[in-house]
Structure formats: C-alpha cells, structure tokens
A and B are shown apart, each in its own frame.
Chain A
C-alpha cells in the first residue's frame, strides 16, 4: 500500500480518536477563555457600559482581537502542539497498541503521517472556528472591511503555527520515550529564552517566524524583557518566515517518518 493511501487509512482511524479524546476537551476549555472574553466585551458594549480601558486608553475591538490572537499564538498553539504532537506515537507506545498499527500492511512512516494529518484537521477545526467567532463578537460590524485582511492572515497563521509545532513535536514524540516534558521545555523554556537572547539563537525557534507574521501590534512589554526586545529585536521578512515555517514542518515530518521507520519500539511488559 502506498504511503499516501496508508496515511489516509490511519488518518480516518485517528481523526475520531483524537477529536473525542480528553485532549480535545482540554483544548475546548483553553479556547473557551478567549470566547468568554469576547462575549463579556460584547455584553458590555450592548449594555452601554463604557468601553474597556487600560491606563485610561480606550481599548477598541480590533485591539482586543489582536491581544487574543497573541494569546492564542503564543500560548494555545504551542500547548496544542505539545500535547497532541508528542502523543501521536508516544501514546500508542504507552498503550502498547503501536504493534497493531505496525502489523498493518502500511509503511511505518504512513502511520506518523496519517496521525499528523488527523491532528492538524482536529486542531484546525476547533481553533479556527473559535477565532472566527471571537472576531465577530469583538469587532464592530463597521470595522470588518478594515480588519478582515488581518483575520484572513490570522487564520492562515494559526493553521501554519499548528502545522509547524505539530510536526516538530511529532518528531520529538517519535524519538523520545517521555516526550511531553521535552516538548513543554522546548515551547515554554527554550523558545521564550531564545527569543530574548542576543544573536541568532531566536532563529532556532518557531515563535520567531510566527510572531513576525502577526498583523497585530505586539502587546506592550515592560522591564528587562522590553529593553532586550528593543535592543536585539529583528523582524524577518514575511517570505523568509513562510519559507522557514514550511521548511521546519516538512523537515520535521520527514525526520519523524525516518525515525519511526528505523526505530525499534520496546513495549514495557
């Protein structure tokens, strides 16, 4: 059976499993936060209460939406990447069910590919509709013509972020026995630290390329972090960012497939 056909079979099997798993309930809960913020903002607006203010500066709908996108991109997307991506293969190993997949007449690489595609569809189909709902709750209708372009970019960017983080963590999951810890350290330790370090270290993160594409102003930072950002912050070109993210996704997937093809998984008895 060809790789793509095999991946399709695995995708079909895995999509339902992923979609109705506890992880998706967790994802739903995480995404409830921005939706609740948007609903509260809309209710305040409807009830005629004065607009949300920070330091006496009125926070407009597009600004709130921009902040929510930053929250989703910097927190939610990496979390989803870690929890889903690292579990694609590691969960099968932990549950000792990987044998059943490996004994099917599909290439091992197709198993990872199919599961990765299922992860992508599952997360994209939960995250993106939530973002669209938040957009229509937060942005006044008259502002839609002026802000729709940024929504279109946001939607594409979130899908790209989920793809890139998922691929990287799928590789980590295929390589390591306990990948979740490594994934969390990478997403919330290494990436955060590298973004603040001088030199080229930030270029070895996914966040560096994703953040450069965000069409909303970065939330203001204070203190040392703001100073460091001002001193060392560089913004790559959009084309470079897109190429880097696609490159990272493809390379991580190819490496993941190679690892799973060659590695011997020993199941604990």
Chain B
C-alpha cells in the first residue's frame, strides 16, 4: 500500500469517525432516547413537567414567526406593530419575534379537578434577566430562593417567574413553579407518563402541537362542542405552519363504539359545513381538505389550509374598505379630480 493510499484511507476514516462520533455525542447529550425510539421524545423541557400532566403543548415560535403565513399577516398589518406588543418589548426587552425560540406549556393536577390545575409555561430564548427582575420588583414582586433558583413572585396575583436555566424562563403559579423545579431535580416527570408520551411522540413533528385530556379542555369548550359527544379520553393536535396551515387532530375515545359514534358525528358536521360553504370557494377548499379516518379507539381528522386559500382570504381582507373615521376626526381631503369632459 502506497503512502498516498494510506493517507487517503486515514482521512476518510477520520471523517467517518469524527462525523459519527460527533453525531453520537450530540445525540447522547440531546437525549439518548432519540437513538432507540422511532419518534422524537418531545422537547427537553418535558423534564420540568410533572408526571400527572393533563395537558402539554408546544409551539415553535421561531418557525412560526419566520413562516410565510406570519409574513403575510405582517404585510396585511397597515399600522405599526401592535401597541401592546411594543409596550411589552419596551418593558421586558423581549422581542417576541426574535428572542423566543419555543414555548412549552402544561397543566397538571389531579383528575377531575379543573379548579386545582397548575398551569406552567416554559419559554426557551434569550432574555434580559436583570431587566425583567427589576420590572417585577418595581411592581411589587418579591424575590425568593427555591432549590437554588431565584423566583420572582407577585403574591397578589399568584404569579411567579423563574429563570430555571440561563436561557429558559418558567412562568406560572408559585405552586406550579415549585413543582417544576422539584420535578427537574428528581421527581418523576411527564416522560414517565406512558399515555401522554405515546401521543407526544405522534405529534412531536409539528410546528405547534398539544396533547390534553379531554376533561381538561372540554369544560372550556362546552359552548362550542355538541352536547352529546361520545366520551373522549385524550385529544392531540399537531399543525405545520408555513405558507398555509396543515394539521391533524386525534381524539382517543373510551372504546371502539364511541370512536365509531364520534366519526359519525364529525362526518355529519363535515357534511353540514360543506352545505354552508358551498358559495365560498376559499372556505370550500378548506372543508374539502378535511380527511376523516379512524382506527381502534382513535379518530383522526386531517385538515389543510393551503397557501392559496390563505392568500385569497388575505386579499379579500385587504380589499375591504377601511372603517370610516370617527366624527370629528381629521380626514385628509382627496384633491378634486379633473371634471369629465
């Protein structure tokens, strides 16, 4: 074997070893479970969410903000950015569009106790911690230490903020924050909840997704849902947001008969929707995109709002006449047009 052959083989082996080694180490650091299961195992922040979570949701803010849909919405905004958003940025230093990568939200608590829920939100991004601490303290917040973490609590509002990692902020009720810190430091987290994780793995590919026990969200939607819905245990929603929106909603019912009933209900609602939107081509495209399927106890509804539909909706919105100015408000007079001859 000549020297150049040995050199070539050495370089090729080096690339392979360095490449595969780097990948292996990254995979190990990012969660070795990724190597052994087909789906993702959810974001790292699940380590803060207690095992009895009844709702887990995720939104990739960065992807949403850089999506075409968002760009279109921004183009549609004729005025400067929303005043509340501007004020929020001035006060906290957080530019929602650029500083937040993603958000994970959860709600935990004993089954059947909607009042006892402990909502928690975790946001990964870049934050000016000193500025935020000052702001909360200025508004009457108190600083306390819990398990080595600084917590800023507004006792009157039962609201706590904690920078649990340098780039991760937790927001929620004081109990929820305490529990999240305890969960991270040792208690069983939601990854040990097989029911939730089975659904999380199914939906983890989306730009935004949510998994929830139906009884955790059902009461809030009671006005919008048919009163005689078959019993549903879990719902999971995933969406991919880009030029348009496409997504899938899974509902897991108590048994197969309930799943069949639910399919019938949804099928009826789809038929009704088709009748209602027959005159509106852009909405008809959305209704036509609905795909209903079922397997065992699961009913799946796929939907898609293509970019063209979004465009046509936005065009329609843009073509609407601007609202008339309030009486007394100054209105610029258009120059008189040349009289027709």
> Which of A's residues lie within 8 Å of B, judged by CB?
12, 15-16, 19-20, 50, 53, 56-58, 121, 125-126, 128-129, 132-133, 135-136, 141, 144-146, 148-149, 151-152, 155
Contacts and interface: CB of A to CB of B under 8 A. Distances in A.
A69 B113 CA distance: 50
Contacts of B26: 141, 144-145, 148
Identify whether the interface residues of A are mostly helix, strand, loop, or mixed.
Answer: helix
B244 A155 contact: no
Contact of B23 (A50, A58, A151): A151
A19 B3 CA distance: 12
Contacts of A136: 19, 22
B278 interface: no
A128 B11 CA distance: 12
Given A56-B244, A145-B34, A148-B24, A132 B9 contact: no
A148 B34 contact: yes
B338 interface: no
B294 interface: no
Contacts of B140: none
Interface of B: 1-2, 4-5, 8-9, 11-13, 15-16, 19-20, 22-24, 26-27, 29-31, 34-36, 40, 68, 242-244, 306-308
A144 B23 contact: yes
Contact of A128 (B16, B24, B27, B36): B16
B200 to A, nearest CB: 13
A20 B8 CA distance: 10
A148 B35 CA distance: 7
B252 to A, nearest CB: 25
A155 B27 contact: no
Given A19-B8, A133-B15, A133-B19, 11 more contacts: A19-B5, A56-B308, A57-B242, A128-B12, A129-B15, A129-B16, A132-B15, A132-B20, A144-B26, A145-B26, A145-B31
Nearest to B307: A56
Given A15-B1, A146-B34, A148-B34, A155 B8 contact: no
Contacts of B244: 56
Contacts of B13: 125
